[in-house]
Amino acid sequence: MFKIVLITGISGSGKSVALRLLEDAGYTCVDNLPVRFLHEFIASTRESKLERVAVAIDVRSPGELAELPDVITGLRAMGTAFRVIFLDANDHTLKQRYSESRRRHPLTDRLQQGGKSPSLQECIDTERELLAPLREQEHVIDTSDLTPGQLRAWVRDLVQADRAPVVLTFESFAYKRGVPGDADLVFDVRCLPNPHYDSTLRPMTGRDAPVAEWLAQFGSVETMIEDIAGFIRRWLPLYMQDTRNYLTVAVGCTGGKHRSVYVIEQLAQRFADHSPLLVRHRNQPPPDLP
């Protein structure tokens, strides 16, 4: 089956990492393809009988980016299996990455006026404004506190997900690191009993049996899980009617290690019959890639 993945998003958010993962997975990859060539490129890949293709398009395509949402809509109307992944990160993370890499923002020269170069913040703000229409209608991954390994794992899981009315994603996170920007629904479980204060359980995670057994003994934990599950069951059909393709449910605790992880795992069990279903733990080590 012919599949095409479009990687886009904010400069410095990890698009190169995602594209390399897809290349390693057997995709034919093209970086910085001008928007006007997208139709022609897809047609040529079909003729060449390539089954998996990945394209990166971002703010480096001057004057054409505003046309991209309409181009994507047109391709989908023609029956193209088109999955778009929008990578984002908060301003602090982006500035830190630019500082470490010592690279210039791609908008630096285009925004230069009177011989004066714009600040990095001005470039980021302009880029967000240019990409806003695309971000609002596609799947977003906030890479702010993700390791490259985590990002590779998340992209791999996403592109392998079969097409369905809604890709349902359950994601745990740590409030001390901020609410992830890719979350659609956010639930706070910091009010639940905390295994962190048990020295035996502290090194473990919510995926370990001793932690799960400890949390399962509290009625409040079960009630919280059932309340969240009930909310999702009630409103998921309406989200599906809203023609959206993705719904990310984020559950947070203080450190993103015990309670939120356990609750996410329990929710995943309750919605195991939904396909495709993705499970992410933002503050846990990534799984080993095959």
- Least Cα distance to 142 among 126, 154, 132 occurs for 154
Residue 14 is labelled as binding a ligand = yes
Residue 9 is labelled as binding a ligand = yes
Task: Find the farthest-apart pair of alpha carbons in the chain and give their distance in angstroms, rounded.
Answer: 67
Residue 264 is labelled as binding a ligand = no
Side chain identity at 33, as an amino acid letter? L
Residue 145 is labelled as binding a ligand = no
Return the structure tokens found at 8. 């886009």
Q: What is 170-218 written as a DSSP string?
A: EEEEEGGG---TT-SEEEE-TTS--GGGSTTTTTS-TTSHHHHHHHHT-
Tokens 């996170």, located at residue: 173
Residue 59 is labelled as binding a ligand = yes
Cα of 5 vs its chain's centroid, Å? 14
Residue 15 is labelled as binding a ligand = yes
Residue 16 is labelled as binding a ligand = yes
Q: b or e along 257-283 (b: 16 or more beta carbons within 10 Å of the residue's beta carbon)?
A: bbbbbbbbbbbbebbeeeebbbbbbbb
- Least Cα distance to 9 among 77, 79, 59 occurs for 59
Residue 219 is labelled as binding a ligand = no
Residues 6+ apart with CB under 8 A from 72: 6, 82, 84
Residue 11 is labelled as binding a ligand = yes
Residue 186 is labelled as binding a ligand = no
Expressed in percent and rounded to 5, the helix, strand and coil fractions of the chain are: 45, 20, 40
Q: Distances in Å between the alpha carbon of 225 and those of 121, 188, 217, 265?
A: 40, 11, 13, 10
Cβ(168)–Cβ(245) under 8 Å?
Answer: no
Residues annotated as binding site?
9-16, 58-61
Residues annotated as binding site for ATP?
9-16
Residues annotated as binding site for GTP?
58-61
